[in-house]
Amino acid sequence: MEKEWFGIPREEINWFPTINYEKCIGCMACVKKCTHGVYSEEKGKPKVVAPKNCVVGCTGCESVCPKEAISHQPKEYLQKLAKRKDFQTGCTCGGECK
Ligand code: SF4
Ligand code: SF4
C-alpha cells in the first residue's frame, strides 16, 4: 500500500473500486488486471479485499470490465483532495535538482 498520495496519508483517501454485482458476469478480467492485491475471487465473482491497496487515480480494472460493472470515485473527488493544504505537488527536493 502507498503510504501517501502527494503528501496526503493514503488512509484518508477513499479510492477503490466498487463492483455492481447485478452487472458483473464473473469474467475475472478485473482480477487479472490488478497487480496490487486489491481483489480476490469468491464464489466465481471478484471481491475487493484490500481497498487501500488500490493506486489512487488508477481505473485500470474499470477500463477492462466488459460490463461497466466497476466504478471509482468521480474525478472531482481527486480534484478536491488536490486543494487540501497538505497536498504536495511535484518535486520535494527543495530545489537541489534544478
Ligand atoms: S484501479 Fe488499478 S490498482 Fe485499483 S483495483 Fe483497479 S487495477 Fe487495481
Ligand atoms: S471485469 Fe467486470 S464483469 Fe468481469 S468479473 Fe470484473 S466486475 Fe465482473
Decide if pLDDT at 98 tops 60.
no
Is residue 83 a part of any domain in this protein? no
Look-up of cell digits 472531482 = 76
Is residue 98 a part of any domain in this protein? no
Q: 68 Cβ partners below 8 Å, 6+ apart?
A: 23
Is residue 58 a part of any domain in this protein? yes
Residue with the smallest CA separation from ligand 2 atom 2 is 65
The 10s digit of each residue's pLDDT in 5-57 is 999 999 999 999 999 999 999 999 999 999 999 999 999 999 999 999 999 99
> What pTM did the predictor assign?
0.89
Is residue 24 a part of any domain in this protein? yes
Is residue 12 a part of any domain in this protein? yes
Looking at residue 64, which CATH number applies to its domain? 3.30.70.20
Is residue 97 a part of any domain in this protein? no
Residue with the smallest CA separation from ligand 2 atom 8 is 24
Of 73, 72, 74, 70, nearest in space to 20 by CA: 70
pLDDT confidence band for 1 (50 / 70 / 90): confident
What integer pLDDT is reported at residue 30 of this predicted model?
98
The 10s digit of each residue's pLDDT in 50-80 is 999 999 999 999 999 999 999 999 999 999 9
Look-up of cell digits 485500470 = 60
Determine the structural domain holding residue 49 and report its residue range: 4-73
91 or 80: which carries more pLDDT confidence? 80
Q: Residue 28 — left, alpha, or beta (φ > 0 → left; ψ -120 to 50 → alpha)?
A: left
Is residue 33 a part of any domain in this protein? yes
What integer pLDDT is reported at residue 92 of this predicted model?
61
The Å distance, Cα 38 to ligand 1 centre, comes to 7
Is residue 90 a part of any domain in this protein? no
The Å distance, Cα 96 to ligand 2 centre, comes to 46
DSSP letter string, the chain:
--SEETTEEGGG-----EE-TTT-----HHHHH--SS-EEEETTEEEE--GGGSPTT--HHHHH-TT--EE---HHHHHHHTTSTT---S--S-STT-
Ligand 2 neighbour 26 (Cβ under 6 A): yes
Tally of domains in the chain: 1
What integer pLDDT is reported at residue 8 of this predicted model?
95
